Amino acid sequence: MMNSKVALLYVLIIMSGRLAQSLKPRRSISFSDVKLKLFKEPDFNGLSSLLVREDIGLLFIGARGKVITLRLDDIAEKTGEIEWRVTSGEKSACVLKGKSKEDCENYITTLHTLNDSRIFTCGTRAFKPLCTHLLFKGGKVSMETTTSEGRGRAPFDPHEDFVSLMNENTLYAAGSVDFMGRQAFLRTGRNYLYTEDKISWFNDPIMISINVAETSKSSENREDDNLFVFFTEIAVEERRSNLRLSRVARLCKGDLGGFVVSEKKWTSFLKARLDCPFGEKGSISLLQSVFLVNDENNVTESLFYATFTLSPPFNSTSSSCSQSAVCAYKLSDIQQVYRGNLLEEIISGGWVKDLGKESYTYPRSCINDEMRAKNVKTSLDIPDSTLVFAKNHPLMEGGVMPITGRPLLVQSTAQFSKIVVDKVTSLDGQHYNVMFISNNSGWLQKAVWSGDDGGRIIEELQLFQDPQPIRFLQLSSRSGQLYSATRTAVAQLSVRDCSRYTSCADCLTARDPYCGWDRLRGLCAAVAGASNLSMIQNLTDGDVGICPNSHLSKKIIDIHLTVDVAQFLPCSPDTNLPISWSFSGNILEPGPRHILLSQGLVLTPSFTDEGLYTCETVEVVKGRKHRMAVIRYHVKLTKERKEREVNGSQGTITYILASVCVLFGMIIIYACWKQKREKHVGSSSESYANTS
């Protein structure tokens, strides 16, 4: 019988093993073991924007009532702080309108670099957005005294999902445009445009991302550059009420609005459903974050990486709503959807496929050489009939599917939030897109996807000690630094840190595009700028056969056990890989005396169980099985118990042999007695016969 402590431990381990059913990261690193730099102050709260300035080596943080600057190479060092607060009168007026005192502060939500190196800065300012500029001179940051209207450039509500993008000194923004929270997509400046105030365009949207694609560089007919707006909204085309879907809208960057119809309005707005199929049937994937990876050789081959969480089916009690996924979309596939069929709204409120009575090229295509040849050089030259049609037909019939038809990876342990992607070049010159995905618990996951073996999570790191959503991710590819932020703290992490791989085998089987084994220094290091002569790397199958010969092995631990008393032999690898046990060189199979667990072995030994027990991690890469020893135990039985067992066994054997001998003797005696009796009976009968 195993004692109560071991039995309890056994039950707890079994329970913990059953809880983890989803795709696991190869390695998990807790907060105390992550090499990072933190910025946090006692009164620091309400972080609402983040800007990386590699040219001046500063990280700008927009927060409640101030802008803070930190050193880009070490954010623990604060270089400056500029206050920008509301007056008591502004706050009082805001509170009288029903807003809380906290929300009536000035939250700096917009930080963008202009061509002249100034920083365009806007804040909510007690629900009356205002903008100004930050200047950097002589190593110091200052704020201009002049201000401008912030409506449409910053949100009114500090809690609102508001996104903006600065491109060629032009600001594009998606979010609220008034105190009541009316939503729109705007271009501010000289060519000011905004979306139609129609439910068919935006229906209670949550804005996610804005991107510019220079499609004219790869277009055969010099089609105008594209703008993409990602959001979720209540679907107008679905009969089911309050069904929220993910969308991507495409607009033409050169859109100038209409001459009479749609004056100061976007004329090229089209939107389509964005699909990322995962979870049980009927589940809806909701967009959380988007990151564009440009293809410098062909813009149309550029990829949008996006994170999704799951909205469960109607009336479902399934736990699948905790699942998250990453899907990727090719720009050319998105463009193709906009060349398809449009939906038309009918009187009853439903939406049906447009029968093609009006087969306009615009806005399915932005202005191109074919249109220019017909003297249609801008949207101001588009006929009114076309503009009216475009205004009433913003919705595409088709949806955008991911490049693989399914997610790159799916996980159910935490909800994904933000994503950034780094383009990494390996030692052999191949290119890899490494994904960094944050979640709502303060963790970051590093993942890679390839067509050969699908998606895999190389590692996950706990960036913040207290569980909290990561709201911002910014990557400096030049320095290899990743900056993440919650509402109360900022963390800096080197994406090229390879020190967690402690051996050549571990370094290579991890297949981390950033890392390789340095044969001269005998350690795992970043491959960026390294020579192929001293560094080895194998991202194809992680073959460790190219590793230098090593005589290092895991130390053998002597352990003395007692016969028939259960003992737990722990095995805790620094990875999340499954483990395997061997006994004296042979794979150990589960049995009554050997209970194999995910974190160790429960051994109830007999005197035949003495020997060497080895725990190994098992990793299969493209059919190749890699085993690495974690710990070894040399199990011995205590001497007196063993002698007692041996003596007892010998006594038992003697007793059995004696019993057999006695039994055998009794059988012989009985056989002899029976034979004599049969002879005696036979002579008596014969005599009786003769007498008669």
Q: Which residues contact 134 (CB under 8 A, 6 or more apart)?
A: 60, 67, 82, 118, 119, 121, 141, 142, 143, 144
Query: What's the domain count of the chain?
Result: 4
Note whether residue 350 is domain-resident.
yes
CATH of the domain at 604: 2.60.40.10
Hey, what are 39's tokens?
A: 């910025």
Q: Are residues 522 and 565 in the same domain?
A: no
Residue 684 confidence (pLDDT) = 33
Percentage of residues of the chain with pLDDT beyond 70 = 86
The DSSP code sequence of 219-244 is -TT-PPPEEEEEEEEE-SS-SSTT-E
How far apart CA 456 and CA 434 sit, in angstroms, is 11
Q: Please check the confidence at residue 16 and state whether its pLDDT lies above 50.
A: no
Least confident interval from 152-156, 348-352, 636-640, 685-689: 685-689
Specify whether 311 is located in the same domain as 360.
yes
CA neighbor of 360 nearest in space, from 333, 397, 380, 390:
390
The residue from 362, 394, 412 where one domain ends is 412
Cα separation of 122 and 166, whole Å?
13
Residue in the structure block whose two tokens are 């390839």: 450
Enumerate residues 6+ apart whose C-beta is below 8 A from 645.
563, 607, 637
363 upstream amide cis, omega within 30 of 0 = yes
Q: How far is CA 80 from CA 66, 69, 71, 111, 641, in A?
A: 10, 5, 10, 16, 72
Residues 6+ apart with CB under 8 A from 316: 280, 282, 283
Q: How far apart are CA 576 and CA 16, in angstroms?
A: 13
**pLDDT class of 553 with cuts at 50, 70, 90:** low
pLDDT digit string, tens, across residues 455-492? 999 999 999 999 999 999 999 988 899 999 999 999 99
* Tokens linked to 51: 């800007």
Whether residues 591 and 537 fall in one domain = no
Q: Which residue matches tokens 């290579």?
A: 508
Structure tokens at 118: 């100034």
Tell me which of 374, 395, 412 is where a domain ends. Answer: 412
568 with 670, same domain: the answer is no
384 falls within a domain: yes
The pair of structure tokens assigned to 160 is 């609102």
Query: In this structure, are residues 417 and 439 in contact, taking their beta carbons and an 8 Å threshold?
Result: yes
What HEC string does 312-364 produce? Answer: CCCCCCCHHHHCEEEEEEEHHHHHHHCCCCEEEECCCCCEEECCCCCCCCCCC
140-146 mean pLDDT: 96
Query: Where residue 215 sits, what CATH number does that domain have?
Result: 2.130.10.10
Are residues 537 and 607 both part of a single domain? no
Query: Does residue 125 sit within a domain?
Result: no
Q: Which residue has the tokens 């003596």?
A: 647
Residue 258 lies in a domain: yes
Residues 542, 511 share a domain? yes
Tell whether 660 is covered by a domain.
Answer: yes
**Does 6 have pLDDT greater than 60?**
no
**pLDDT for res 358:** 64
- Quickly state the pLDDT bin for 683 (edges 50, 70, 90): very low
Q: Give how far Cα 286 sits from Cα of 158, 400, 677, Å.
A: 22, 14, 98
Contact between residue 338 and residue 191 where contact means Cβ atoms under 8 Å apart: no
For residues 233 and 638, give the distance between their C-alpha atoms in angstroms, rounded to a whole number.
70
Are 311 and 338 found together in one domain?
yes
What gap in Å lies between CA 287 and CA 415, rounded to an integer?
Answer: 12
- 440-450 pLDDT, tens per residue? 999 999 999 98
Give pLDDT, residue 315.
53
Does residue 261 share a domain with residue 407?
yes
CB count within 10 Å of CB 687 equals 9
| Mean pLDDT value across residues 339-367 | 84
Vertex 303, ends 302 and 309: CA angle to 5°? 165
Is the Cα torsion angle 241, 247, 252, 256 positive or negative in sign?
positive
Q: Are residues 515 and 404 in the same domain?
A: no
β 343-345/351-353 pair status: antiparallel
* Mean pLDDT in residue range 244-264: 96
pTM: 0.86
Q: Could you report the per-residue pLDDT of 96-126, keeping only the tens digit for each?
A: 999 999 999 999 999 999 999 999 999 999 9
Domain extent, residue 648, equals 644-676
Whether 218 is in a domain gets the answer yes
For residue 513, give the CATH number of its domain.
3.30.1680.10
Kindly list the strands in the beta sheet with 66-71, ordered across the sheet, starting from the edge strand earlier in the chain: 49-53, 58-63, 66-71, 78-83
pLDDT of res. 687: 29
In a domain, 475, yes or no: no
pLDDT, average across residues 29-49: 92
Residues 74-83, mean pLDDT to the nearest whole number? 95
pLDDT at 20: 30
Largest CA distance in the chain: 153
The letter for the amino acid at 596 is: L
In terms of domains, do 209 and 286 share one? yes
pLDDT at 175: 94
H or E element in which residue 188 lies: none
DSSP code, position 572: -
Q: Is the CB of residue 485 less than 8 Å from the CB of residue 470?
A: yes
CA dihedral angle for residue 230, residue 236, residue 238, residue 242, rounded to 10 degrees: 80
Asked if residue 367 has pLDDT above 50, the reply is: yes
Q: Which of 496, 519, 546 is the last residue of a domain?
A: 546
Q: Region of 567 please: left (phi>0), alpha (psi -120 to 50) or beta.
A: beta
Q: Same domain, yes or no, for 379 and 342?
A: yes
In a domain, 214, yes or no: yes
Q: What is the pLDDT of residue 460?
A: 96
**Edge-to-edge strands, sheet with 303-311:** 284-293, 303-311, 324-330, 409-411
Q: Which residue has the tokens 């190749």?
A: 624
Residue type, 206: I
SS3 state of residue 494:
strand
659 and 539: one domain? no
In contact, 628 and 506? CB cutoff 8 Å: yes
